[in-house]
Structures are given as C-alpha cells and as structure tokens.
C-alpha cells in the first residue's frame, strides 16, 4: 500500500497526441510502470499507516503475536513485519538521544549458552539496544551500533555493570569518557553465594556427626535481617549461638554493606582494607576470602560508586520481563525476532507511523 502502480499505455495511435497528456494520463515513455509514493502508507508496506498504528496498539496489548494476528485478521508473518517496521521506525527517531549513563547486562535467549548483551538506559528505565554474544568484541559492536555518533559516545559519563572483564574492556575502548561502576547488587549476590557455600560446608560437616541444626536454614542466612519476620529473626539469633562459622560469614556480609555509605575515596579505601583484613584472618571461610580477593581486584570500579551512585537494579526487572516475553513466545530462538520483541515492549520507542 506504500506505493501504487501507474500504468501508461503508449503506441502508434497515441504518438504526438497532446490531448492525452492534457487528460492526465502522464508521459511515461515506453509503457513502463512506475511506483508512486502515497501519503497514506509507508513504502513497501501492504497496509495503510492508520491500520499499522492500530496494529501496533493491538500488539502492545496482546500477550502473544499470534493472538494479535488473530484479532487483526492477518497472518503471523504480516504481524511480525509490522512489528519490525515499528521498531525500526522508533530506533530511527531515537538516533540523537544523549544517554549520560548506561547499564550493561547479559541475558540468555536460547538453549545452552546463547547469550545476548543488553544496553540499558537507566534515566529512561528502558532497554536501549541489545546484540548477540557477550564477548568484548560483541559488546563493542553493540555500543557502536546503538550509539553511532562518536560525539554522543563521548557524553556517556558512566557505565554500570557486573564484574565482566569483557564488558569493561568494551567500555574502555568505545566510551572513553565513561567511568566503570561495578553493580552493588552483583556484589551482594557474590557475598550471599559465599555465605551459602559456608553454610552448606558446615551443614555437611555437622550432618556427618548427626547434627541437623543447619538444615532448612538457607532463608534465615540469606535474607537481610530487616526483611525477616520476628519469628525468623529469633530463629536466626538461636542459629548464631549454635554455629559460629556461618555466623562470622554472615557478619562479614552485613558489615560490607557500610562500604556503600562511604563519602570519599579515602574513606572507602580505608574501610575496605579493614574489612578485608578481618575476613582474611578468619578460619574456615575460604568462600568469603575468595570474594574479598575478587573485590580487591575490582576495587576501583566499586569506589566509583561514590561519585556515580548507579546500580543495575533496572536489569533485574528487565530480565524478568524478558523472561515473560520469551515464555509467551515459546522460546524466541531466532535472535533477530528476540531483539525486535524486547525493543518493541521494553525500548520505550516512538513507533507509530505518521498518519
């Protein structure tokens, strides 16, 4: 519908006939067919702009593309093409947007080890773009594509991420003005994992002696005390009295939370040294010591949180929504379709055609 054919029949009876030209028939020589752009549809679209606008609204309200296609009385492929054009339209309109901070995260999109790298816009709370792979090279390609203007890339002042060496290398290469901020929620996850590893090791040791004290206590140790019900809090206090090893790991995790309250680089450095020294002096806490060594290697990015208090908390919510999209579409193993879905629903794009 975006273009229409204009046929012009010419022949011996029409040669030199000025009246035919005056009647609006045109002067297309040789009888060729021309494609003429029309104001009520986009080029190469089989639908009017008004219908595509309606279709975009319907697809945004439906749980699956199949459901939307059924309501619109079009095929799944036609609905997919409308969605693709909508996303392309939205991305074209967003090219010059300045993003002062970005978030980078990974998300599985297929079976096995198929991963995508997701670039987030924390200020607008949306997905800016995503690309296949999670290597440094793949992340560089993604950043250069979603931020094509070098001047725009220079205005990105911070990038928050987990402790991926690939992500950090890509940011250093592509965003020269951006400081790297390691996500505090990722740090909390590492500390929680260490506490649970200590708990499980102690549980195995005690179980061999017939002591089941730590059985079914994972929730007690991994939930912040401020979030525990009164009864669970009392049970945790009893566990403290009966198992000092896990209690020490729990205490080290809780103590580290004060790192994020430091107001200067010097204060945070001093805090970390004291905390690290205490952890390394304890016996039987190898998982916690391993985390302390990891944090030491990434300390610069942790300290950057002081000047750029950013987190990737948005990524957790986005990942949950992406999982819902995958489930509704039963997999989305094709990355191109996966990208279109994510940007359509989570990109906050201006996707409606001009009508």
Span 75-128, pLDDT tens digits: 999 999 999 999 999 998 886 778 899 999 998 876 667 889 999 999 899 999
Domains in the chain: how many in total? 3
Q: Is the domain of 104 the same as that of 123?
A: yes
Beta-bridge partner residues of 106: 117
The answer to whether residue 171 scores a pLDDT higher than 50 is yes
The b-or-e profile of 12-40 (16+ CB within 10 A means b, else e) is: eeeeeeeebeeeebeeeeeeeeeeeeeee
Residue 87 included in any domain? no
Average pLDDT value over all residues in the chain: 87
Least confident residue range of 17-31, 154-168, 235-249, 293-307: 17-31
State how far the Cα of 256 lies from the Cα of 275, in Å rounded to an integer.
7
Contacts of 202 (CB under 8 A, 6+ apart): 214, 243, 245, 246
- The answer to whether residues 233 and 267 belong to one domain is yes
Q: Quick one: 220 and 276 in the same domain? A: yes
Are 176 and 314 within one domain? Answer: yes
Answer yes or no: is 77 within a domain.
no
The predicted-structure confidence for 118-167, as pLDDT tens digits, reads as follows 999 998 999 999 999 999 999 999 999 999 999 999 999 999 999 999 99
Inform me whether the pLDDT recorded for 333 exceeds 60: yes
In a domain, 85, yes or no: no
In a domain, 51, yes or no: no
CATH code at position 168:
3.30.420.10
- CA–CA separation, 270 vs 262, rounded Å? 10
Q: Are residues 156 and 257 in the same domain?
A: no
**CA atoms 19, 22, 23, 27: torsion sign:** positive
Mean pLDDT within 268-290? 94
* 3, pLDDT greater than 60: no
Same domain flag for 176 and 317: yes
Q: What is the span of the domain harbouring residue 6?
A: 1-38
> Residue 107: inside a domain, yes or no?
yes
355 or 33, which is more confident: 33
Whether 303 is covered by a domain: the verdict is no
User: Three-state SS for 236?
Assistant: helix
**Same domain (yes/no): 127, 201:** no
């Amino acid at each position: 519908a975006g273009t229409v054919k204009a046929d012009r029949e010419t022949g011996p009876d029409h040669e030199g006939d000025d009246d035919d030209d005056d009647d609006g028939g045109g002067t297309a020589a040789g009888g060729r067919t021309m494609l003429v752009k029309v104001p009520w549809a986009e080029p190469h679209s089989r639908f009017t702009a008004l219908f595509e606008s309606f279709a975009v609204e319907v697809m945004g309200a439906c749980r699956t593309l199949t459901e939307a296609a059924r309501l619109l009385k079009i095929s799944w492929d036609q609905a997919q093409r409308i969605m693709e054009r909508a996303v392309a339209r939205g991305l074209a309109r967003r090219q010059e947007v300045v993003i002062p901070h970005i978030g980078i995260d990974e998300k599985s999109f297929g079976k096995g080890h198929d991963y995508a790298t997701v670039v987030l816009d924390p200020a607008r709370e949306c997905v800016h773009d995503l690309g296949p792979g999670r290597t440094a090279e793949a992340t560089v390609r993604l950043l250069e594509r979603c931020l094509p203007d070098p001047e725009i890339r220079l205005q990105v002042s911070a990038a928050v991420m987990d402790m991926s060496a690939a992500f950090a290398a890509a940011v250093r290469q592509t965003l020269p003005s951006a400081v790297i901020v390691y996500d505090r929620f990722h740090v909390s996850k590492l500390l929680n994992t260490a506490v649970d590893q200590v708990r499980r090791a102690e549980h195995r040791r005690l179980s061999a002696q017939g002591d089941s004290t730590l059985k079914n206590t994972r929730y007690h140790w991994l939930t912040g005390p401020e979030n525990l019900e009164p009864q669970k809090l009392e049970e945790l206090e009893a566990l403290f009295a009966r198992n000092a090893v896990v209690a020490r790991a729990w205490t080290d995790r809780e103590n580290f939370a004060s790192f994020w309250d430091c107001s200067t680089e010097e204060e945070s450095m001093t805090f970390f040294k004291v905390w690290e020294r205490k952890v390394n002096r304890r016996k039987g806490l190898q998982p916690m010591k391993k985390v302390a060594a990891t944090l030491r290697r990434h300390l610069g990015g942790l300290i950057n949180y002081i000047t750029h208090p950013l987190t990737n908390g948005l990524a957790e919510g986005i990942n949950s929504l992406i999982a819902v999209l995958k489930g509704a579409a039963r997999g989305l193993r094709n990355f191109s379709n996966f990208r279109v879905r994510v940007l359509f629903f989570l990109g906050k794009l201006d996707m409606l055609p001009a009508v």
